[in-house]
Structure 1
Amino acid sequence: MKLKYIFLVSAISLLFAGCNENSFLDNPPQATLSNGTMTSADGVDLLINAAYAALGGPGGQSNSVWIYPTTNWSYGEVRSDDAYKGGGGVGDVNEIHKMETFDVDATNGNLDGKWYQLYCSVQRCNSALRVLDNSTDGQIENRNIRIAEMKVLRAHFYFEMSRLFNKIPYFDENVANNSIYKTISNNQYTRDEILGKLAQEMLDAAAVLPESQSEVGRVNKYIAYAYAAKIKLYQAYKQDETTHAVISVDKTLMKDVVDLCDKLINSGKYDLLSDFQGLDLIANENGKESVFAIQYSMNDGTINGGRINWSNLLNSPGGGSPYGGDGFFLPSQDLVNAYQTDANGLPDFTYQSKSDYSKVTDNGDNTYSLSNVTPSVDPRLDFVVGRPNISWKTYMKTPCNGWVRDKGTYGYNCTKRFWVSPESPDMMQGWPWGASQMNWQIIRYADVLLWKAEALIEIGSDLTTARALINKVRERAKNSSYVKDFTDKSKNAANYSIGLYAADNWTQDYARKALRTEMRLETAMEGERFFDLVRWGIADKVMNNFLTVEKSKRIYYANSKFTAGKDEYLAIPNNQYGFSGGIYVQNPGYAAFK
């Protein structure tokens, strides 16, 4: 049985439980059940399921999930060179626009809401752990396994906090009242110490968790190993605490990353799907490439059609699309250009010096012309991006034309990933727009392969294996079914060309560039790009290059600038400073609290 159905049976009332922002540390879930039940072994399953439900956002089916998405589309992509905010213009959810243009301070409500949601999620784990810790094995079946599951989920929420806000307060289930909370500084631990604690918690959980669980969706040993690898990968890039500049790379931690990734690679349980586009098919949602996913469902008896991915609710294509959505989260022209390839089918690292690929001309009658489409491109371009005149999945009525609400501001391309084709019986018709039961992949097997490759490149001792891993990911894209021309299905929709890296000139510097590019092309729009740039210590250079080029195309970028030593992390929200009783300190680069 999928765990998502267990949520529906036993924890539905908890999905809508509030979290008093001034006292979330002492917050038993509010429902019709008594507090006595919810703090005893009798209610522990409800508490555990509520913690799992928080993966999709502790607010359940509410605007808190749309505005503070667990998918990180606004935090990890719109703040990067991959995406524009989209929607109805710069004033539509203006707080995200301010994040996109690096005009952020401690009063931005989107920051406060995200902080609040994540700590509510942490507290759901702690509420379950307090009961589990105070129970016996005889009272609760698989008690130690459930403890390990909750620690993995808690570490996940804390990891999100760390890479968003840098200076964060850390507490476990033993902190259970508001008076103690106000003694916990957000400066008690450094970034490195926080990441070290979270990685160790993942490893401790892995020692207890089984290799598989009978209910799909429950955390297992390999999820804990994979997540420990991800956290150690971040930790390996040592940052200066004041400037956020990467000052060294810890090769010992990188060796740990390799060893942890090998646990999944050698397990025989995971592999790449044969076709990249299979990532967006319901049939594959818990398939061999899925390592850790948020489980969603549809037509399950809950309101508004089911427990669907409300984090993506604003993002379904708008304009005249068959989805009829709000049209947020649009791919940038820079991302489109980055899919261009050279004569060998390898990434064209000079793409920013060239004309825009697939430049769109609006003919004024709901038709569009594309120019500069003869260069070769990686086929993943049209798996990820919806371009005018280009076939959209298996939809036969029209190509992707005019599906952006504010074309004058954001251009004409929309995001093709994460949606089922609109004629599919898996898609809900009407509200919620474009909804389906498609899971959200927190970690997929391609990530694991690329993490290992990255670690090997930074260690510098086995560049050959790193190249083979990168090529394995590229080969899957090469062998996928290419998008066909809308009017002539015997032709490809573009001049697709993707090659594999050769051993010649495969130096550490070149391998590093190849890996970072591959990470972008393979995981575009998955919420990771900005965090990758910060981890590598190149956010300043990449983002300012991007903004310089974009200013001539997007007028709203006219005064935008990425400030090194500040914009790598979000400001600690003013509200949280007040709730802490004034003990929090602000991140470098932002105005100090008063």
Structure 2
Amino acid sequence: MKSKILVTTILSGLIIFSSCKKALDYTPKGVLSSSDLKSPTAVEGLVTAAYAAIGNGDMIGPIYSDWAYGSVRSDDAYKGGGGTGDVGEVDALEHYNLVTPSMDSFVSRTWKNLFKSISRANVAIRAVNSLSDAEFPNKKVRLAELRFLRAHSYFTMKLLYKNIPIFDETATAADILKVSNTLSNDDSWNKIAADFQYAVDNLPTTQPDLARANKLNAQAYLAKLRLYQAYEQDDKHHVININKTRLQEVVTLTQAVIASGKYSLSADIADNFLPETENGPESVFAIQFTINDGTTTGRLNFEDGLNYPHGAPQYGCCGFHAASQNLVNAYTTDANGLPNFDTFNNSIADLSKVTVDTRLDHTVGIDGHPYKYDNTKPFSNSWVRDPGVYGNFHTMRNQQLATSASYFKLGPFMGSAKNYDIIRYDDVLLMQAEAYIELGQQASALPLINQIRNRAAASTGRLKKLDGTFPSSYNVKPYSPANWTQEYARKALQWERRLEFATEGARFFDLVRWGIAETTLNDYINVEKVRRPFLATAKFTAGRDEYLPIPQSEITFTNGLYKQNPGY
């Protein structure tokens, strides 16, 4: 299905369970002895295994798909599924106040899966370092790739848990038990940044295998890290300062990616969500998946395996990740083709009477609208599993058609070989725009944001119904320089990020970065709980709910060396 793909299936043997509560685990085919690791070929295998590890999460321990952590915990989506008790850990995440350090799946399992990927990278780094430059001419490049992969996993952990232990390849098993999670916020960011910087300094701009990290990937990822680091937090997670030096680094790093000319916006945003157009000009760094690769099931994304329309006969399970009414309303536009910033959520939008941003129909399954660009099978309210609890909308960006060559059904669950983009070019543009705005240079942000909006306006080619008409009335226009103040630009940027990355898992982390999670999410709950009574007891508590708890099992394992996050 893909050419020149590095990541092969290192692990196989999927075990299928009969309920959504259970997940898919990989079983290793074998283990290597130390004598097997003395050849360049064996070491290359360990590098490949480290790449594989960043895609080795599962349904209840996700490490790349943030639908539960970044979408359901935000105002973008509800848990969905068969009522609040179905995969109750995600219901706890959605309510905030039900999350506990003892949750065995999600909170604890994701931690373990991420550290497995970090361990893979450290093992491979040690093996690479055991060879001389003469024995292994690619030594410096492979070390840079591995440090990039390690930084990716630590970055993910940092967003989820904030206070994490960080150790490198020199740490022994005994050393690891002495490393606490009490580094300052800035120090832990800098430790992760050092790996990305090493990758920037030592990776080539172009790699022979498309899955391998390159210099531009590292610059984009380092920019993302510095953007988060710029919003300095105190110990209670309040944003107390925005560091202008870090913002300037973001501008410089993103400009290097932009100026390279290697990446660009795809003509249609749909290209980002279809396997036929993956690895396109907009994909900066992605986890690669495969199917029909000679193994039993291929190497597939099952982290989104619960999130297909339950009542659709071509799927049959499981109806999780339902789009919120708030998100649907956010896509409405005014007479000028701009967002209804202040009034969007005053009522339930009548989609037959309002104009909307095109990205609504790239994101949300709506009754009578083409589902995933297939106008022969429009989405139907009958596909919704529990409309009385979660309403009639669904999400669809990370789902694939059952007729797609990337689609695979294993028991009741769905898998896909569609790549999972970690960083896209649209993100690079909006990161730079955000930095410019917070630097007081909002005029430089305007054309960047308008590139995104102009692409959205043009992304209608796949949206028509079978009769040739559009399912919605679209009106998307660029922003004008008039009244483009810093305050207005900030509001526009934050709105644009929501529309551009809706249901992809970015939203919650954006809100935390900006320091507006408490206000935004409690305002959301106060309105949404009237529409969706299952949210009646939900409440976001500042100083606690910005991050997951440190798993109690890890605190126990380290005899209390790890300290619990505030509020838990």
TM value normalised by structure 1? 0.89
Structure 2 matches for 1:150-549, cutoff 5 A? 150-177=146-173, 179-187=174-182, 189-241=183-235, 243-304=236-297, 306-358=298-350, 373-401=352-380, 402-428=382-408, 431=411, 433-460=413-440, 462-481=441-460, 484=463, 486=465, 488-489=467-468, 491-549=469-527
Q: Structure 2 counterpart of 1:138, which letter?
A: A
Which whole-Å CA distance do the structure 1 matches of 2:557 and 2:234 have between them?
Answer: 28
Q: CA deviation at 1:229?
A: 0.1
Counterpart CA distance in 2 for 1:99 and 1:456 is 33
CA change 1:539–1:488 in 2 (3 A) is: same
Contact 1:340/1:375, CA 8 A, preserved across alignment: yes
Q: In 1, distance between residues paired with 2:80 and 2:40?
A: 47
Code of the aligned partner of 2:211 = G
Q: CA deviation at 1:167?
A: 0.9
2: CA distance, partners of 1:275 / 1:165: 35
Find the residue that maps to 1:292 and give its secondary structure.
strand
How far apart in 2 are the matches of 1:383 and 1:42? 43
Deviates more, 1:501-510 or 1:382-391: 382-391
State the secondary structure of the residue aligned to 2:383: coil
Change in Cα spacing, 1:319 to 1:260, as seen in structure 2 (3 Å) is same
- SS of residue paired to 2:291: coil
The structure-2 alpha-carbon separation of the partners of 1:458 and 1:516, relative to structure 1 and needing over 3 Å to count, comes to same
Q: Which runs of 5+ in 1 are unaligned?
A: 17-28, 59-63, 359-371
Deviations 1:51-77 (A, max 9, x none): 10011126xxxxx44543521111111
Q: Report deviation, 1:157.
A: 0.5
Q: Distance in 1 between matches of 2:119 and 2:240?
A: 34
Q: Secondary structure at the match of 2:567?
A: coil
Deviation at 1:137, TM superposition (A): 1.2
Deviation, 1:375, is 1.2
Which secondary structure does the structure 2 equivalent of 1:351 belong to? Answer: coil
Give the corresponding residue for 1:108: 103
Indicate if the aligned counterparts of 1:86 and 1:330 stay in contact, CA closer than 8 A.
yes
The equivalent of 2:44 in structure 1 is: 45
Do the aligned partners of 2:307 and 2:319 also contact (CA within 8 Å) in 1? yes
Partner of 1:135: 131
- Whichever residue aligns with residue 391 of structure 1, its letter is P
- Tell me what 1:149 maps to: 145
Note closer, same or farther for the CA distance 1:56–1:484 as it changes in structure 2 (3 Å cut): closer
In structure 1, distance between residues paired with 2:6 and 2:511: 37
SS in 2 for 1:502: coil
Equivalent residue letter for 1:564: A
Provide the rounded CA distance (Å) in 2 between the counterparts of 1:5 and 1:570.
Answer: 33
- Residue 269 to residue 5, structure 1, CA distance change in 2 (3 Å): closer
Once the two structures are superposed, residues 550-578 of structure 1 have per-residue CA deviations (whole angstroms, 9 ceiling, x without a partner) of: 11122221111000000001111110001
State the Cα distance separating 1:197 from its structure 2 match.
1.9
**What is the distance in 2 between the residues matched to 1:268 and 1:485?**
32
2 CA distance for matches of 1:2 and 1:425? Answer: 15
- What residue identity is the alignment partner of 1:47? L
Quote the residue 1:363 is aligned against.
none
Of 564, 569, 572, which residue of structure 1 is paired with 2:547?
569
1:65–1:45 distance in 2 versus 1, CA, 3 Å: farther
* Structure 1 residues 66 and 589: CA distance shift in structure 2, 3 A: closer
Conserved? CA contact 1:13–1:31, under 8 Å? no
Matched residues in 1 for 2:305 and 2:147: separation?
29
| CA shift in 2, pair 1:167/1:15, >3 Å | farther
- Offset at residue 140 of structure 1 (A): 1.8
**Kept after mapping to 2: 8 A contact 1:66/1:312:** no
Q: Is the 8 A contact 2:6 2:210 kept in 1?
A: no
Instruction: Please give the per-residue CA displacement for 1:15-59, whole angstroms capped at 9, x wherever unaligned.
Output: 99xxxxxxxxxxxx882432431476552122111110011126x
State the identity as a percent: 44
Deviates further, 581-590 or 532-541 = 581-590
Q: Which residue of 2 aligns with 1:589?
A: 567
RMSD of aligned C-alpha atoms? 2.0
Amino acid at match of 1:303: T
Q: 2 CA distance for matches of 1:534 and 1:435?
A: 30
Relative to 1, partners in 2 of residues 1:186 and 1:2: Cα closer, same or farther, differing over 3 Å?
farther
1:351 shift after superposition? 3.4
Amino acid at match of 2:567: G
Q: 1:446 to 1:6 in 2, by over 3 A?
A: closer
In structure 2, relative to structure 1, the CA distance for the partners of 1:323 and 1:30 (3 Å cut) is closer
Give the superposition deviation at 1:122.
0.5
- Give deviations 1:465-515, integer Å, cap 9, x for gaps: 2010000000001111256563531x2211110011001100000000000
Residue 201 (structure 1) shift: 1.9
Superposed displacement of residue 435, structure 1: 3.5
Q: CA deviation at 1:533?
A: 0.4
1:513 and 1:31 map into 2 onto residues whose CA distance is: 53
**CA distance, structure 2, for counterparts of residue 14 and residue 202 of structure 1:** 33
| Residue in structure 1 matched with residue 20 of structure 2 by the alignment | none
Shift of 1:436: 3.4
| Conservation of the 8 A alpha-carbon contact between 2:274 and 2:400 | yes
Q: Partners of 1:184 and 1:77 in 2: how far apart?
A: 32
| Aligned counterparts of 1:283 and 1:124: Cα–Cα separation in 2 | 31
Distance 1:293 1:15, change over 3 A: farther
Deviations 1:91-112 (A, max 9, x none): 1111111011111111112211
Match of 1:362 in 2: none
Question: How many residues matched?
Answer: 552
- Corresponding letter in the other structure for 1:48: V
Amino acid corresponding to residue 174 of structure 1 in structure 2: T
Which amino acid is the alignment partner of residue 289 of structure 2?
Y
Q: Establish whether residue 98 from structure 1 lines up as the match of residue 92 from structure 2.
A: yes
- Report the CA distance between 1:322 and its aligned residue: 2.3
Following the alignment from structure 1 to structure 2, what is the Cα–Cα distance between the partners of residues 40 and 575?
38
Distance in 1, matches of 2:449 and 2:232, equals: 24
> Is the CA contact 2:250–2:432 (under 8 Å) kept in the aligned structure 1?
yes
